[in-house]
Structures are given as C-alpha cells and as structure tokens.
Chains A and B, each alone.
Chain A
Amino acid sequence: MKILVCISHVPDTTSKINFSENNTVFDKTGVQFVINPNDEFGLTRAIWFKEKNNAVVHVINVGLSDTESTLRKALAIGADKAIRINHNPKDGHSVAKYISNYISNNSYDLIIAGRESIDYNGGMVPGMISAFTDINFIDKCIDLNISGDSVEASREIEGGKENISTKLPLIIGGQKGLVEESDLRIPNMRGIMMARKKELEVVEVNKDYQSTNSKSFEKPLPKGEVTLISADEIDKLIDLLHNEAKAI
C-alpha cells in the first residue's frame, strides 16, 4: 500500500499572530512552525500502516524552502520520502490542484490530509483533491481500517458518528481519533539522523491555479473590560445576560 500524507506547515498553536507589509502578509518573525495538528494525527496513522502492513509513506507539502524543516520532521517520525512542490501556497484551490497533479503522475492507494489547517482554516483541500482526482472521500475521518482494498472507516457527524465501508483508492480529511494524542511521536535521535539521508524531492511548477486572492488581514479589536459580578449576586448576572447581552 502506498500512502501520501499532505502536510501543512503552520504556526505553533501558542503563536501570536501579526502581519507585515501593510497588513498583507503573515509576519513569520519569531514564529515557530509545526506540522498541522490534524496532519500529525494522519501521519501517525500512516506510520502504523507502515509498521503493521508494510505500507510506504510519502509526505507532501506545497511551500517554499522554509517548510523543509517540517518535512524533515515528518521523515524523522518515519515517513519514507518527502515531496515539496516549490510554490508559495496562496489558496486552497491551487494547493489541491498541485497535489492532485502529483497524485495523477504517481499513483497512491491512500491519501491522508487534515480536516482543516489551523492557519488558513480553509477546510477545503481534501474535498478538492477528491474531485480533481475522482477518488472516494471521507471527511472528518476518526477511524480508518484497511484490508486489501476494502476500507472500514468512521466519520464524525453532528451528535455522533457514522460507520462507512468503501474501497481504495481513498482520500480522507483526518483529525484526532485516527490516533490519540498519546500516540503522537516525537522524533528521536536515530530518526533525525535517518531523515537526513531520505529523499526530499523538489517539484518545480510554473502554472498558477489560484481562484481566490488574499488582500489584507486585520486583528480583532482588543476586548473591552470584563464586567465582574460578585458570587452572591447571581440575579445580577441573569439580569445582564437577559437585558444587556440578550443571550438568554
């Protein structure tokens, strides 16, 4: 089984978000980048397939050379090969198109993307890839088991879960549940050494597929002071929630 894991390179969750160049670009100064959390769950699930079912795991990112540290981390965790599409990702549509083109030239049985990236929050790339490549798609996937080309999976639905049977090839939008937090792996020294020797293919592209264009960013206004209510004036809280906030 050949698996491709899509890796989005995102600011660490503790990062303060700032913008530069007249609020048109994300300011990377002092920001630590990590594997998008949803992708980390997917990558770990892929490594399990490698360990238990001899799967081959490739990771792919659309990004400039600064994302290679994140790809190397994925290699250190256990992926066999990394691919970087050398392009500054401007929207979900172009990212999905580049990855789909790569999939069309290099066939995969399973493609794992994240349900959503924590920077762009598009929630769109996996669905677009499924449509471009015409392969089966499960979004919000929280459990995935494969034998032969048969897939038994679950997806989170509002208020529960849905169990699904389908066939490979398949793409999922993954999230926690594929594996748990405690299953995530920190690269060890040996993994880091081995990662240096693994292949990192850089693919050049010249066509642009953008369908949206980011114009500017803005930060939310600082919040006004909190209204503190004493613990023995609960009636006042209820009154404020009812009459002032109109929330109950």
Chain B
Amino acid sequence: MDILIFAETDDKGNFKKDAFEIASYAYQISSQTGGNVKAICFNSKIPEKLSDYGVKKIINSENDELKNFDAGIYSDCISDVFKSENCSMLVLSSSSNSKYIGGILSVKIDAGYVTNIISIPVKDNNLVVVRNTFTNKAFETVEITKSNSILAVSKNSFGLKENPTKTEISDFNFNISERRNKVSSIEKTSNKVTIADADIVVSGGRGLKGPENWYLIENLAEVLGAATACSKPVSDLGWRPHSEHVGQTGKPVSSNLYIAIGISGAIQHLAGVNSSKVKVVINTDPDAPFFKAADYGIVGDAFDVVPNLIDKLKEFKSVND
C-alpha cells in the first residue's frame, strides 16, 4: 500500500512545517504496513528536503498556473497523482487549505475521510483511528469502511521524526482546467506569525482592560516569536481583529505553548485551546477556572507580571539563542 502526502509550500516555495509532520506520520504508517510514502507538492524550491522524513518519491510540479492555491485545480492534480501512483491512503495536514480540499478529494477518489486525527491508524479488518471531537472535549475512535482513505492529521499531535532516505524526484504533466473562482486580491493583515502556524501563542482577555494595553501581548509575543490571540469578548468589543478570536466558536489552537493573560477560562474558551500542549495562565483571581486547565500559573496582575516576564525572557534568549 503506497501513501500519498500533500506537502504544502509557502509563497516562497519552502515547505511548511506541517509538510514534515505529515511525512513523518506517513512514514511511521508505511514502516508498519509496507509500501512507500510519496509526496505531491507544487512549486517547491527544495523538494528533496522531504527525503529527510522518509519520502521515497516526490512529484513536484513547477508551473505558474499552480502558483496560487485553487481548491478545484489542486484537488484535480492530487487525485490524478493518487490514482496514477496506485495509492490507497492520502495524508493531509489540518491547514485551512488542506481542509478546503479534503472533502472534495474524498469524493474524487472515493475515500473514507477523517479529520483531526491524533493517532497512527491501526489495522483491524478496517483502518481505525482516534480523532478529536466535540471541540476537544472528547476523543472518538473511528473506523474507515472504504478501501481508500484520507487522513487529516491534527497539528502538533505527532511531531517531526527524521528518517533520511533515497528519493526520486519527478514532474507530472497535469491537465489544468480553468479556474472557477478568480482571486481578485489578497489582503495580508500582517507579516507576523499566524495562529495556525505558530508553535507559541500569546493570548489576552478582558483582564487587559483595553486595546491600548495590547503592547504587553505584542511585546511578549515578539520575544517568543509567537502569534497573538484573544478571547471572544475582546474581538467582539473591537479591541482586536476577529481573526484573533480563539475558542469553540473561533479558531482552534493546537500550539506547543499557550499563554493566557487576563482570560477567565470559560468552557467555550477552553474547548478551543485544550489541545495545546503546555498552558500558562496569568490572572489576578486565584479562583479563575483557567487555573484548573493550566500546567503553570501565576496569580498576579498582568501589568506587573508581563513586563517583568518580557525582560527576563530577553535575558534568557540572549543567553540561549
């Protein structure tokens, strides 16, 4: 059984970290079931980088028409490769573009499709995987009853594992159809790290009193190379853009480190950030519910603690980086 992964690249043609994570994940499966891991990527500058993570064959199409993401065209290309390479499993990341095409692909290649996966599949007659469900309030064991499968792996649930191997790199002659959705413009809010890509997320709540105090969150995020986020009321009040709202009805966070400052820890907030590995809470109220969900906590005033934390982290970084 061969496994195909869709290895995503950024605007500059570099692989996203997710690409290496799903390669590591697919390699682990192939080492148990036999078969090879193959990858499809578009306009990658250094496709051979995937060979560090066990990918045996890389199909890299360099084509200007594939430069900008298009769900219809990308899913056509991926399904063509999936079929011609005789694969029976496709592994995707949980980036928004991969989620955009996952459902379409499952119909095109007639596959059982499971998202938010946090385990390596087990073969028990059918393929069985564990996934996050009820917005991280529970895990679900799911069986795939079709012979083809698409597994979308939850971010940071597996990590990177190097398995250097010999790789063959080839091209593919795609029949590219016309774009049905025309992109007229792209507006980037900033060049900062996005919540989806970030290893560390620094998040502020109503405890920060007002937008004028967000320099605390931004400065802390800058020292850590982190993305900034906020609770729902903060974005509803217009203190921060909606794109920063995290939680059950906002963006999910599955970073390695989540630092919550002046956030009480309501159930809807926790649901969206529970799958972050390590959680730090800074709050004046020792009874704030967030302390029950945290790994490390400081009971204190953000206006004293955060500036101090920024200074100490700068010292730490100057020694350790």
Contact = CB atoms under 8 A, between A and B. Distances in A.
Interface stretch (A61-69, A81-89, A104-112, A124-132): A124-132
Contacts of A19: 138
12 contacts: A17-B134, A128-B106, A161-B186, A162-B185, A163-B185, A213-B126, A215-B128, A226-B295, A226-B296, A230-B298, A234-B309, A238-B316
A165 B274 CA distance: 37
Contact of B184 (A128, A163, A241, A247): A163
B271 to A, nearest CB: 7
A124 B15 CA distance: 25
A190 B96 CA distance: 40
Contact of A121 (B115, B196, B256): B115
B45 to A, nearest CB: 19
Q: Which secondary structure dominates where chain B touches chain A?
A: mixed
Interface in B35-67: none
B142 interface: yes
Contacts of A220: 136-139, 274
Interface in A216-240: 216-220, 223, 226-231, 234-235, 237-238, 240
A150 B196 CA distance: 31
B188 interface: yes
B200 interface: yes
Contacts of B308: 234
Contacts of B135: 118, 121
Interface stretch (B25-33, B209-217, B299-307): B299-307
Contacts of B108: 131
Contacts of A130: 103-104
Contacts, number: 239
B82 interface: no
Interface string A137-153: 11110000000000010
A212 B96 contact: no
Given A14-B268, A140-B96, A220-B136, 10 more contacts: A121-B134, A123-B102, A158-B96, A176-B245, A215-B142, A217-B138, A226-B281, A234-B305, A245-B295, A247-B200
A158 B102 contact: no
A212 B257 contact: no
A19 B292 CA distance: 23
Q: How large is the interface on B (under 10, 10 to 19, 20 to 34, 35 or more residues)?
A: 35 or more
A231 B186 contact: no
A127 B257 contact: no
Given A136-B180, A159-B189, A164-B182, A128 B107 contact: yes
A127 B101 contact: yes
A214 interface: yes
A205 interface: no
A245 B292 contact: no
A32 interface: no
Q: Which secondary structure dominates where chain A touches chain B?
A: mixed
A138 B181 CA distance: 8
B165 interface: no
A8 B96 CA distance: 21
Contacts of A226: 281, 291-292, 294-297
Nearest to B72: A137
Contact of A140 (B100, B295, B297): B100
B268 A238 contact: no
A242 B99 CA distance: 33
Contacts of A140: 96, 100
